[in-house]
Amino acid sequence: MKEKILIIEDDPAMRLGMSHFLSSSGFVVKECDNGARAIEILKEYDFDIVITDLRLPGKDGLLILKEIKSRHPHTGVIVITAFPEIKTAVQAIKDGAFDYIAKPFSNEELLFVVERFINFRRLEKEVQELKESIKKSTQQRLIGESPSMKEVLDRIEAIAMADVPVLIQGESGTGKELVANAIHEKSHRKRGPYVKINCAAIPESLFESELFGYEKGAFTGATETRKGKFEIASGGTIFFDEIGDMPLQLQAKLLRVLEDNAVNRLGGKEPIMVDVRCIYATSKNLKDLVREGKFREDLYYRINVVPINIPPLRERKEDIPYLIEHFLEYFQKKYSRSGLRLSSAAYEALLSYHYPGNVRELKHAIERAVLLSADNIIDIKNLPEEFIADIKIEDKCLSDNISLQECLSSYEKKLIINILKETGGKRSEAAKRLGISRKVLWKKIKEYGIDYP
């Protein structure tokens, strides 16, 4: 889409000359000869660039500049000035103009300044998109200090650069998609396409055309040739979410593509070579599906080259405090809240809950609590009802005025005591289970005053 330019110039010959030149250069141009009319036009239309003379009847260029920057802050303003008015042009730059151009000037000089603004705006947009991407990746990262999560993170680091199939297994809500995202972002394909397919969401009748594409006229309604997901993802990664829900008859065709690195569009005659790394995820037990005849055994062994098993949240409760802290910070920023803290009852409820919905359920619980909390306290009444019904308050010493860091320390102390009990006081084994060194454990025992033989 071509940029739209408004020219404000009271000299007819100059105005028409600029308009004709910029229009012939591919821009959409509108023009007027005075400041008052320009303000009216700007109320009706949005422009990418405004080119205005500093000296105009009615309203001068500086007043127009201020009007534009207040109403349309992203519009670029280029001011035209005579040589004696350079100081005024400098003031215009201070007031928000992109640049100025002094009379007399050539069409090439004008085009140079216009294109420089377009490139500037394009770079600014790319930087903003990069910032958003970084912000998103920071907000949606894998959180966990438990031995089981450290094992998952280590596995990601070990296999990300290798073009091998990965099968991510875990209950719904454990973060399988985040693991897949991390593998792609750490791989050499990170600048290539990243295509996600939810196998449980695509109707069976559309599955084949979605994956492999089709030629024009291949079936009724195929009015044009369309690439499938494999072609779109060539040079990058495909993430098959819930691969266990893929129709059985399509599994054989998927296996053929994986073995040949080529697809055949519906209605097509020649195979099309593709270069794709595949990552799979499932919340189902594929071995059980193989035994039940619902999943092909040969496909199972083809995709299960590197397995990654994500434990449910109830089996890594030591990660809950870190997740609480992360989501609390995230949703405070998202909803422009600050200074929120959990009451002891709310914090204990979050620690004690059994989380059938795993990390996703915790995330939604914190989001709800942030939205419903009054003042700066997140109370137990702000949590979903199932959290309140399932609460088991074991430690009555926490007060409502305790900070989140103190809550984390209290939980850490309680966790260390419980692990020491379970290991019979064997500190080496306890340190191993906690994922810390024996020296760090000894320091924490001393710090918290834990007296366990």
User: Model confidence over 6-16: pLDDT tens digits?
Assistant: 999 988 999 99
For residue 142, being part of any structural domain is answered with no
Number of H helices, E strands in the chain: 19, 16
CATH of the domain at 175: 3.40.50.300
How much of the chain exceeds pLDDT 70, in percent? 91
Q: Are residues 357 and 261 in the same domain?
A: no
What's the pLDDT at 389? Answer: 63
Residue span of the structural domain in which 22 resides? 4-130
Last residue of a domain, which of 295, 311, 327?
311
Q: Return d(Cα 355, Cα 366) in angstroms, integer.
A: 13
Mean pLDDT computed over 188-200:
93
For residue 141, being part of any structural domain is answered with no
What is the total count of domains within the chain? 3
* Full-model pTM: 0.58
Task: Please give the structure tokens belonging to residue 63.
Answer: 């007043």
Mean pLDDT computed over 25-44:
88
Q: Are residues 265 and 189 in the same domain?
A: yes
What's the pLDDT at 225? Answer: 87
What's the pLDDT at 131? Answer: 58
Q: Are residues 289 and 330 in the same domain?
A: no
CATH of the domain at 353: 1.10.8.60
CATH of the domain at 55: 3.40.50.2300
- H-assigned helices in 59-106: 61-71, 86-94
Q: Return d(Cα 120, Cα 76) in angstroms, integer.
A: 10
User: Model confidence over 137-180: pLDDT tens digits?
Assistant: 444 578 888 999 999 999 999 999 999 999 999 999 999 999 99
Q: Are residues 151 and 299 in the same domain?
A: yes
Q: Are residues 278 and 405 in the same domain?
A: no
Q: Are residues 421 and 396 in the same domain?
A: yes
User: Model confidence over 87-132: pLDDT tens digits?
Assistant: 777 888 888 889 888 888 999 999 999 999 998 888 888 777 665 5
- H-assigned helices in 335-403: 344-352, 358-372, 385-389
For residue 421, being part of any structural domain is answered with yes
- The dihedrals phi and psi of 264, each to the nearest 5 degrees, come to -115, 115
What's the pLDDT at 55? Answer: 82
What's the pLDDT at 397? Answer: 43
Of 297, 306, 308, 195, give the one whose Cα is nearest residue 251.
Answer: 297
Is residue 440 scored above 50 in pLDDT?
Answer: yes
Q: Are residues 303 and 326 in the same domain?
A: no
Last residue of a domain, which of 69, 99, 130?
130
For residue 139, being part of any structural domain is answered with no
Q: Are residues 192 and 322 in the same domain?
A: no
For residue 61, being part of any structural domain is answered with yes
Is residue 442 scored above 60 in pLDDT?
Answer: yes
Mean pLDDT computed over 365-390:
87
What's the pLDDT at 393? Answer: 37
Q: Are residues 272 and 321 in the same domain?
A: no
For residue 385, being part of any structural domain is answered with yes
Q: Are residues 382 and 332 in the same domain?
A: yes
For residue 410, being part of any structural domain is answered with yes
Q: Binning pLDDT at 50, 70 and 90, where does residue 398 land?
A: very low
Q: Are residues 210 and 281 in the same domain?
A: yes
For residue 295, being part of any structural domain is answered with yes
Q: Are residues 302 and 321 in the same domain?
A: no
